Amino acid sequence: MNIEKTTQGAETRTEKLWYFGFGSNLKTSIMRSRGIEVLDVKTVRVPGYILTFDVFGLPYSEPAMASISRYAVDTNGDAAPDPPTVHGVAYLLSRADLLRLIGTEGGGVAYREIIVKGIPLNTGNDDMKPISMSTLIARLLLALVECN
């Protein structure tokens, strides 16, 4: 479900949604400093995605910002080993807080929203069901320049 395309009815104002945080969003204190109320937190991994740094940042202070990128999983066993799966934090948020988070992260400008499936880690119980989460990925990739 794309948060931007969902209609705002009475039932959706109280809806709670999961968001996948990585990079600086691993810290719950960062979320709270943006005025976002975190309702629940779980550590998760997202199979099929890797951590990347392909969003332009600020030269010298923060040259690139984190994103995630999909990779094809080798099912034949004839390719190089799969790269490490991205790990992060699943935050349960209200719809209003998710919209606020997307705005503070540059959603629609530097990032676009997607839905990923996360596998909870270290739950201490049998609740290992995948979690469907919104997250943001790079809208534009850096240009690759070959130097000779």
- Catalytic positions are 105
DSSP 125: S
22 is an annotated ligand-binding site residue: yes
User: Would you say 24 is a known binding-site residue?
Assistant: yes
Return the ∠ at Cα 125 (arms to 124 and 131), rounded to 5°: 100
Q: Is 23 annotated as a binding residue?
A: yes
**Cβ neighbours around 127 below 10 Å, total:** 9
> In Å, how far are 8, 54, 111 from 95, measured between CA atoms?
10, 27, 18
Asked if 87 and 4 touch (Cβ cutoff 8 Å), the reply is no
Q: Which residues are annotated as a binding site?
A: 19-24
Q: Which residues are annotated as a binding site for substrate?
A: 19-24
